[in-house]
Chain A
Amino acid sequence: MAEQGFVVSRETAWCPGCGNFGIVRALAKALSELGLKPQEVLFVSGIGQAGKLPHYISGNVLNTLHGRTLPTATGAKLANSDLTVIAVGGDGDGYAEGGNHFLHAIRRNVDITYIVHDNQVFGLTKGQASPRSDRGMVTGTTPLGAYNEPFNPLATAITLNAGFVARSFAGDQEHLARVLKAAIQHKGFALVDVLQPCVTFNRINTYQFYRSRVYDLDQEAGYDRSDRQAAWARSWEWGERIPIGIFYQVERPTLTDHFGDIVDVPLVKQELARGELVEELLHEFRVG
């Protein structure tokens, strides 16, 4: 399957029927429709089944450590702001191991898109509780049911005034591609939490479970995505009805903006050493 250069691989290490297939296809569609070329895109991923996604789509790839996707992507974007940087990971990778980085990447408002494959379970390690597991979910590490308060990534992101906070569903590629396009176009940190059925280890949050519950906020008459309080309230809606779409969107200066003149040309395209500047600095330490 080819989407104008963003070739999606047929060979993957994913389970048949995995929600990840829908995500990679929607992503290829979004990137193609935006007119990007694979060499202009850098995918940064961590470890987990979601972390393998960049290997199954055309583009530059840095497949890094578990949980460290966001700092790595931040460094890459700061060094070469010409690259479209897309960070990809699962809910274990991003909300457990990488939880601290998640908070600070939002605070920095680095201009990247962060796609979280949210299947509420650890897949690659074969079925343990994730920060997103609902209370009571029986897993390999929670035989009596998960007992910790589930992490709410959308509420957290809105609380931190993330510029773009969205949720989509791997079973609705049209919706997902549309949200991803908006996320990639957004100037600043864009979170797209994707409800992604794990067909092997999560028998509760299935395709059917979501199909019968999700509704599109973007179609809601009168929903104002610049209203932070309303977005925050919607982010807690989880039950018979589960909202998807863009919850919250505001523009604020990005991390690159802050560095101003330093990055008038991307760092990687600048001359490396500035001998005359170092001479000047050395002069400050010169006595006599």
Chain B
Amino acid sequence: MQTLNIKIGGQAGQGLVSVGTILLRAATQEGWHLFAHQDYESRIRGGHNFFQIRLADQPVASWEDDVDILVALDETTVTQELGEVKPDGVVIYDPDVLGDAAKELVTKENCIGLPFARMAEELGQPRIMANAVAAGAVWALLSEEITVLHETLALMFADKGEAVVAGNQQVASHGFERVRGLLGARPRPAKPAKSRPHLVLRGNDALPLGALAAGVKFMSAYPMTPSTGVTEFIASYGREAKVIMEQAEDEIAAINMAIGASFTGVRAMTATSGGGFALMTEALSLAGSAEIPIVVINAMRPGPSTGLPTRTEQGDLRFAVAMSFGDFPRAVLAPGDVEEAFYLMAHAFNLAEEYQMPVVVLSDQHLADSYTTVPPFDLSKIEIRRGKLAAPEEAGPAYLRHRFTEDGISPRLYPGFGTGLVVSAGDEHDEAGHLIEDAETRRKMMEKRMAKQRLVEDNALDPVLCGAEDPEIMLIGFGSTKGAIAEAVAVLNSRGCRAQGVHLPQVFPLPRRLGELLQKPAQKFIVESNYSGQLEELIASRFAWKPTGSIRRYDGRPMNAKYILDRLPGGECRG
């Protein structure tokens, strides 16, 4: 795989996301595959943020440390990020924002000073068009022609009018020509042989899109980074999609509203992060007891407490699996990329309704905010299964919401449909849903609910495998480490070391197939972004097993192949 990494650094509010978005759309149009991740601070203005795009000639799902093109919109990008630029890399900086000391750092010939805002002004355009100047400057290192960049700007600014489009195109050309004049022709990054249409989107786009495809009708949430993108997405398309998104007063209200909506028979969900997820614990157990389907997206960020609000970690796994007073059935899913995020949402709603229980979808900041190019989603793959339903005309006065059945699943009736009454409670209850105190009913009701947990396990999603089928080394992970593990596995195999990646899209209940994989005679490493090895503990307790070793990251930064390979012990093929 041939790749090229562009890093755009600046302060919050300076427009680095605009530069990044222009470039990633244009690059996708031009035919590259890409992965773009965002690193930002918990503040509205200032600080040091970056937007990093990795172009590739093959599908790509992770990031690299080394930078080919650094775009510095502020001084900190120069002082902090220069060390990451490859020896033959290019630095494009704005001399107007550098102090004398920083200017000393960018004197080499591969460093190009472009006063972005001033260049826009030279052409009589507003300073805000500095973003298009920077995008044009970078584009000169990617393409001979500016046409595609112009087309992208035309699409992105279409709703702002022709003058804005023309202005942006004009200043982009200015940046483009200046860099071309200074550096001349440079080798272009490798592109895929064939260019096909692609979607370019983030986890925070794919998850709500998946929910809409699955027929979600109600969402309630309280804003919390990094989950807020999901909430705003559903809110923004509410009118067209005929979905209600109500902003709640807190996360407790959010999940309880969704539970109330779900009880009446609509597909309902909420989305949150860390602390908000913790506040939902009690309601999750209500959904378990009262057998109400509910889907909760938890976009993880480093804890404990408020932790690092804008960064990434997989530290809520143990909590998602165990959050409970008392026992109740559940499933926990962990999509590893935007494609899986989209399709798993439909699966989450199906599981929630078929087994009438809460389903948690674990995302994290890295998945939520990172863009990937993927082939267009296939809606015909989305299957909607609503589980056992009682026919309203048949469900008369004898209807029992929590009727004992062989598989523990009682057919649902939606209140108000037919003459049957739907009675449910978080208190222990009888088949009719009314409160009980007797031991026998309690025992049977607990066994009925937990029988569903066995069914969920029987139907658990199998691990997703990549690499060698007879591995010497196996790397096991879940969620957003999928791309990093896959890349590490590819690197190992290219060095002649048989490696296999095992990604778990379902982390609870764990699939039995994982137990079989663990019997393979390879050295096995658990790769996860948390301190204590929560996946390792989960697998160890389920299969009475210990890995060869563990690779963990808990500095708030996303996993990548280099991080994994650097920590694999010994062996020449590991680099």
**A and B are interacting partners:** yes
B244 touches A76 (CB 8 A): no
- Smallest CB separation, A92 vs chain B (Å): 16
Q: For window 32-54 of chain A, which residues contact chain B by CB distance below 8 Å?
A: 38-40, 42, 44, 47, 52, 54
- Smallest CB separation, A269 vs chain B (Å): 9
B266 touches A268 (CB 8 A): yes
Known: A273-B214, A286-B198. A78 touches B261 (CB 8 A): yes
Identify the 6 closest CB pairs spanning chains A and B, nearest first.
Answer: A75-B260, A272-B215, A75-B257, A63-B425, A60-B415, A79-B261
B261 is contacted by which of A58, A75, A82 (Cβ under 8 Å)?
A75
Instruction: Report how far A75 CA is from B259 CA in the complex, Å.
Output: 7
A282 touches B199 (CB 8 A): yes
Query: A104 contacts the other chain (Cβ, under 8 Å)?
Result: yes
CB-CB < 8 A to A286: which residues of B? 197-199, 376
CB-CB < 8 A to B239: which residues of A? 261-262
Known: A38-B421, A42-B416, A267-B217. A74 touches B28 (CB 8 A): no
- Given A61-B433, A75-B264, A288-B195, 15 more A-B residue pairs with CB atoms under 8 Å apart are A40-B416, A47-B427, A63-B424, A63-B435, A65-B282, A72-B259, A75-B260, A100-B250, A261-B242, A267-B266, A272-B267, A275-B213, A282-B379, A287-B25, A287-B199
CB-CB < 8 A to A40: which residues of B? 416
Instruction: Report how far A279 CA is from B218 CA in the complex, Å.
Output: 20
Query: A178 contacts the other chain (Cβ, under 8 Å)?
Result: no
- Smallest CB separation, A284 vs chain B (Å): 9
Q: Is the interface of A mostly helix, strand, loop or mixed?
A: helix
Known: A78-B218, A281-B209. A55 touches B423 (CB 8 A): yes
A-B contact pairs, 10 of them (CB 8 A): A39-B421, A42-B415, A44-B260, A61-B423, A68-B252, A71-B220, A79-B262, A79-B265, A80-B415, A268-B266
Contact with A along B228-259 (1 / 0, CB 8 A): 00000000011111111010111011101111
Instruction: Report how far A244 CA is from B429 CA in the complex, Å.
Output: 36
A78 touches B384 (CB 8 A): no
Query: A274 contacts the other chain (Cβ, under 8 Å)?
Result: yes
CB-CB < 8 A to A270: which residues of B? 217, 242
A285 touches B205 (CB 8 A): yes
| Chain A interfacial positions (CB closer than 8 Å to B) | 13, 38-40, 42, 44, 47, 52, 54-55, 58-65, 68, 70-80, 82-83, 100-101, 103-104, 108, 255, 259, 261-263, 267-268, 270, 272-275, 277-282, 285-288
- Smallest CB separation, B369 vs chain A (Å): 15
Instruction: Report how far A3 CA is from B266 CA in the complex, Å.
Output: 31
CB-CB < 8 A to B415: which residues of A? 39, 42, 60, 80, 83
- Smallest CB separation, B342 vs chain A (Å): 9
Q: Considering residues A13, A268, A286, which has the most beta carbons from chain B within 10 angstroms of its beta carbon?
A: A268
A287 is contacted by which of B200, B286, B382 (Cβ under 8 Å)?
B200
- Smallest CB separation, A10 vs chain B (Å): 14
Q: Considering residues B209, B252, B376, B386, which has the most beta carbons from chain A within 10 angstroms of its beta carbon?
A: B252
Known: A64-B286, A65-B286. A101 touches B419 (CB 8 A): no
Known: A42-B415, A52-B435. A62 touches B248 (CB 8 A): no
B419 touches A62 (CB 8 A): no
B199 touches A285 (CB 8 A): yes
Tell me the nearest residue of chain A to B259, going by C-beta. A72
A74 touches B213 (CB 8 A): no
B416 is contacted by which of A64, A74, A83, A262 (Cβ under 8 Å)?
A83
A83 touches B264 (CB 8 A): yes
Instruction: Report how far A44 CA is from B415 CA in the complex, Å.
Output: 12
Query: B434 contacts the other chain (Cβ, under 8 Å)?
Result: yes
- Smallest CB separation, B471 vs chain A (Å): 35
CB-CB < 8 A to B238: which residues of A? 259, 262
B376 touches A42 (CB 8 A): no
Instruction: Report how far A262 CA is from B239 CA in the complex, Å.
Output: 6
CB-CB < 8 A to A83: which residues of B? 264, 415-416
Tell me the nearest residue of chain A to B413, going by C-beta. A60
B263 touches A62 (CB 8 A): yes
Tell me the nearest residue of chain A to B399, going by C-beta. A39
Tell me the nearest residue of chain B to A262, going by C-beta. B242
Query: B268 contacts the other chain (Cβ, under 8 Å)?
Result: yes
Instruction: Report how far A47 CA is from B425 CA in the complex, Å.
Output: 10
Instruction: Report how far A267 CA is from B196 CA in the complex, Å.
Output: 38
Known: A55-B434, A100-B249, A278-B212. A259 touches B244 (CB 8 A): yes
Query: B126 contacts the other chain (Cβ, under 8 Å)?
Result: no
Instruction: Report how far A33 CA is from B61 CA in the complex, Å.
Output: 64
